Amino acid sequence: MKKKYWILLTTTPAVLILDQLTKWWVSCSLEMGDRTPVVEGFFDVVYFHNMGAAFGMFSGLSDAVRIPFFYVVAAIATVLLALLYRSLRDDENLVAFAIALVFGGIAGNILDRLRFGSVVDFVSLHLGDAVLQGSLFGFKYRIPLEWPAFNVADSAITVAMIMLVATALVRRGRS
């Protein structure tokens, strides 16, 4: 078996299993909306269901639009990534690993959407209760210094995207 397929067949299920196990653990350990500090003032385990995409985008759309939208986007991304994966040379292990991370992340979040109609998020990073506030052009703003909650699937996709961008930049620098 080609190494790129070995990478795919080990990484994708590993991400999916880790994602689903952590979400299961959080749902058994916390009540919806609970927050448990892990590193005081920086890292909490929380339990939320996200109806939207990253940062809650599209959560305000009606179910009739939002739900099919996420399935269509996931299907298109999967097909395009599968085509890219198929075209990889066998020595492109880093790219193969990154794409396998994305497949695992997509699978984890789609499985949540199929089961719950939303995605379970549980990692919360923040800077204490710090808030950035001020006034700009006469408008007052108040922004809590907290990253929106996320999960293992989101992390896998984010790490993969960073790896793919870095790989593309390195390749471009060699040209």
Model confidence over 15-41: pLDDT tens digits? 999 999 999 999 999 999 999 999 999
Among the options 19, 44, 121, 129, which is catalytic?
A: 121
Of the candidates 151, 118, 152, 150, which has an alpha carbon nearest to the alpha carbon of residue 11? 152
Among the options 19, 44, 112, 154, which is catalytic?
A: 154
Q: Is the pLDDT of residue 156 over 90?
A: yes
Q: Is the pLDDT of residue 63 over 90?
A: no
Residue 121 bears catalytic tag: yes
Residue 91 bears catalytic tag: no
1, two tokens: 């078996």
Do residues 99 and 160 touch, judged by C-beta distance below 8 A? yes
Which distant-in-sequence residues (6+ apart) come within 8 Å of 91 by Cβ? Answer: none
> Predicted confidence band at 130 (pLDDT cuts at 50, 70, 90)?
confident
For CA atoms 20, 70, 106, 158, give the dihedral sign. Answer: negative
